Amino acid sequence: MRPSYLIKPALDESYPEIDYGKGIYLFDQAGKRYLDASSGAVTANIGHGVPEIILAMHEQSKRVSFVYRSQFTSEPAEKLAEKLADLLPGDLNWSFFVNSGSEATETALKIAIQYWQEKGIKSKTKILSRWVSYHGITLGALSMSGHPGRRARFVPLLEEFPTISPPYCYRCPYQKSAPECGFLCAIELETAIKRIGADHIAAFIAEPVIGAAGGAISPPEDYYKTIKRICEENHILFIADEVMTGFGRTGPMLAIEHWNTIPDIVALGKGMGAGYAPIAATVVSDHVMEPILKGSKVIISGHTLSANPQSCAAALAVLEYLDNHQILKEVESKSVYLKNKLDRLKTQFPFIGEVRGKGLLFGLEFVQFPAAKIPFDPSVKLTELVVRTGRDHGILLYPAGAGLDGLSGDAVIIAPPLTVTKREIDELIALLQTTFIEVYKTLGVPLEN
Ligand code: PMP
């Protein structure tokens, strides 16, 4: 058997080898071009092959590529921490650098528990989350995740953290509509806290827009205001998992800013290094750091490559690029442009049950019978079919959906680099159209309205 590296999702499939990337396109060894409509895994936020980032990493590597965090700090790490403190809302002023989103949420979990311990409360160890969510693949992060597919094999090893309903209006668990619903899914947090006891709960974690597990599920107005109020009233920290949504993916630096809410702890990743370097961060507010700084003065976490100078230089260069080209200012107008076109596709292809999202993070949920919102049978593997057909036709889509008894079962994420132009959005839509025509042909069944 030919040895192969083991991180491909399907080990029995062959994958095209990529030769190079430029802007929103990737080119494989055979010369085929792919429009990166998902920025990989919502990561390549400024596109591929940006010379400024490569140069900044090169310059840093000429000075020093690695220092160990318990021996030294470095100029790029210090600058990056300062810059994040400036750019993030409220008193989110303390950055703990790690290498992946999972490490960032796992660190957030640990800091939340430590915060209460430093205050002398040892019983607050549970983290509440939502049953459609994804916070990472390591065991702590997976314990907080409502993603049955990724959890199933490891359930015996996971902490049994309680979950509440997601703000999934398309399939409202209460069969109501916002705002008349009174945000019952948020009120569930209060009910859960009463049941479990606030003295056992350290924090509530949420993705401001639910990504991989749901396909860009964006909450109704006032949802987070209610969540934050309940957290504050019950002395529970609010962790925003902005690994997918942060660094301007939806316009502002943090997606939670859309709802004028300031979390106590934030997890960042993906767009932070924009694919140029593995870097992520847990950013902690002054008031959470206060008892830690007065108490043990140490955070018992960290990784060999935490705050790697070359990765920090990449993240700094990404921030500079976003600023120099005023990229985030244009996210909203591009978002409206793309949303209109996706809505038009929905009328053309009735298997698109819903177009949803925020900024340049959109989800399409697929259903077999749109009027009744009946999903495809899981045996159809619709998401897989759409993603594979897209790739064959030169467009990259990100599969989403946790597949909870059909809830958010089939969805894809459309999240091109924030640098995408309107002309490139037109091309993205044309490629989606070709893909969907082909998917209809493969299904060979009429899709009812
Ligand atoms: N949190 C969220 C919201 C994510 O989308 C992801 C990755 N899809 C993670 C955490 C985990 O990040 P990573 O894959 O970098 O470990």
3-state secondary structure the chain: CCCCCCCCCCCCCCCCCEEEEEECEEEECCCCEEEECCHHHHCCCCCECCHHHHHHHHHHHHHCCCCCCCCCCCHHHHHHHHHHHHHCCCCEEEEEEECCHHHHHHHHHHHHHHHHHHCCCCCCCEEEEECCCCCCCCHHHHHCCCCHHHHHHHHHHCCCCCEECCCCHHHCCCCCCCCCCCCHHHHHHHHHHHHHCHHHEEEEEECCCECCCCCCECCCCCHHHHHHHHHHHCCCEEEEECCCCCCCCCCCCCHHHHHCCCCCEEEECHHHCCCCCCCEEEEEEHHHHHHHHHCCCCCCCCCCCCCCHHHHHHHHHHHHHHHHCCCHHHHHHHHHHHHHHHHHHHHHCCCEEEEEEECCEEEEEECCECCCCECCCHHHCHHHHHHHHHHHCCEECEEECCCECCECCCEEEECCCCCCCHHHHHHHHHHHHHHHHHHHHHHCCCCCC
Q: Are 126 and 160 in contact (CB under 8 A)?
A: no
pLDDT digits (tens, 9 = 90+) for 146-160: 988 889 999 999 999
Do 132 and 277 sit in the same domain of this protein? yes
Residue 24: CATH number of its domain: 3.90.1150.10
Residue nearest to ligand 1 atom 12, measured at CA: 101
Residue 168: CATH number of its domain: 3.40.640.10
148's CB contacts (< 8 A; 6+ apart) are 402, 403, 404
Do 189 and 316 sit in the same domain of this protein? yes
Do 359 and 400 sit in the same domain of this protein? yes
d(CA 275, CA 36): 13
Does 226 or 14 have the greater pLDDT score? 226
Does 341 or 1 have the greater pLDDT score? 341
Asked whether the predicted pLDDT for residue 163 surpasses 60, the reply is yes
Q: Is the CB of 41 inside a 6 Å radius of any atom of ligand 1?
A: yes
Do 350 and 431 sit in the same domain of this protein? yes
* Residue 7 placed within a domain: no
Q: Is the CB of 241 inside a 6 Å radius of any atom of ligand 1?
A: yes
> In the block, which residue shows the tokens 């009120």?
187
| Residues 196-201, mean pLDDT to the nearest whole number | 98
Give me 205's structure tokens.
Answer: 């974690």
**Residue-level pLDDT at 406:** 44
pTM of the model: 0.97
Asked whether the predicted pLDDT for residue 364 surpasses 80, the reply is yes
Q: Is the CB of 130 inside a 6 Å radius of any atom of ligand 1?
A: no
* Residue 67 placed within a domain: yes
Domain boundary among 324, 356, 391: 324
Q: Is the CB of 136 inside a 6 Å radius of any atom of ligand 1?
A: yes
Q: Is the CB of 269 inside a 6 Å radius of any atom of ligand 1?
A: yes
d(CA 148, CA 163): 13
Asked whether the predicted pLDDT for residue 94 surpasses 50, the reply is yes
d(CA 338, CA 333): 9
262's CB contacts (< 8 A; 6+ apart) are 89, 90, 92, 228, 256, 285
Complex ipTM more than 0.95, yes or no: yes
Asked whether the predicted pLDDT for residue 449 surpasses 90, the reply is no
**Residue-level pLDDT at 448:** 54
Do 314 and 359 sit in the same domain of this protein? no
Q: Among 43-47, 82-86, 249-253, 368-372, which is the least confidently predicted range?
A: 368-372
Q: How many domains does the chain have?
A: 2
| Residues 283-295, mean pLDDT to the nearest whole number | 98
* Residue 280 Cα to ligand 1 middle (Å): 10
Q: Is the CB of 207 inside a 6 Å radius of any atom of ligand 1?
A: yes
| Residues 333-362, mean pLDDT to the nearest whole number | 97
d(CA 27, CA 35): 9
* Residue 2 placed within a domain: no
Confidence of residue 277 (pLDDT cuts 50, 70, 90): very high
* Residue 77 Cα to ligand 1 middle (Å): 22
**Residue-level pLDDT at 403:** 63
pLDDT digits (tens, 9 = 90+) for 303-324: 999 999 999 999 999 999 999 9
* Residue 392 placed within a domain: yes
* Residue 372 placed within a domain: yes
> In the block, which residue shows the tokens 């303390």?
94
Q: Are 267 and 105 in contact (CB under 8 A)?
A: yes
Q: Is the CB of 243 inside a 6 Å radius of any atom of ligand 1?
A: yes
Do 69 and 217 sit in the same domain of this protein? yes
Do 362 and 217 sit in the same domain of this protein? no
Core vs surface per residue 207-233: b (16+ CB within 10 A) or e: bbbbbbbbbbbbbbeebbebbbebbee
Does 447 or 112 have the greater pLDDT score? 112
* Residue 9 placed within a domain: no
* Residue 273 Cα to ligand 1 middle (Å): 13
Do 125 and 225 sit in the same domain of this protein? yes
* Residue 393 Cα to ligand 1 middle (Å): 27
Do 91 and 163 sit in the same domain of this protein? yes
Asked whether the predicted pLDDT for residue 10 surpasses 80, the reply is no
Asked whether the predicted pLDDT for residue 405 surpasses 60, the reply is no
Q: Are 351 and 368 in contact (CB under 8 A)?
A: yes
* Residue 357 Cα to ligand 1 middle (Å): 17
d(CA 20, CA 18): 6
d(CA 16, CA 208): 33
- Which range marks the domain in which residue 394 is found? 18-49+327-443
Core vs surface per residue 311-321: b (16+ CB within 10 A) or e: bbbbbbbbbeb
Confidence of residue 395 (pLDDT cuts 50, 70, 90): very high
Confidence of residue 447 (pLDDT cuts 50, 70, 90): low
* Residue 11 placed within a domain: no
**Residue-level pLDDT at 404:** 55
The answer to whether the Cα torsion of 293, 295, 300, 304 is positive or negative is positive
* Residue 349 Cα to ligand 1 middle (Å): 30
Contacts by residues 293-299 (CB-CB < 8 Å, ≥ 24 positions apart): 294/118, 295/118, 296/114, 296/118, 299/96, 299/107, 299/110, 299/111, 299/114
pLDDT digits (tens, 9 = 90+) for 234-271: 999 999 999 999 999 999 999 999 999 999 999 999 99
Domain boundary among 324, 347, 378: 324
**Residue-level pLDDT at 408:** 65
Domain boundary among 324, 355, 382: 324
Do 139 and 246 sit in the same domain of this protein? yes
* Residue 42 placed within a domain: yes
* Residue 437 Cα to ligand 1 middle (Å): 31
Do 25 and 56 sit in the same domain of this protein? no
Q: Is the CB of 134 inside a 6 Å radius of any atom of ligand 1?
A: yes
Do 381 and 285 sit in the same domain of this protein? no
d(CA 424, CA 23): 10
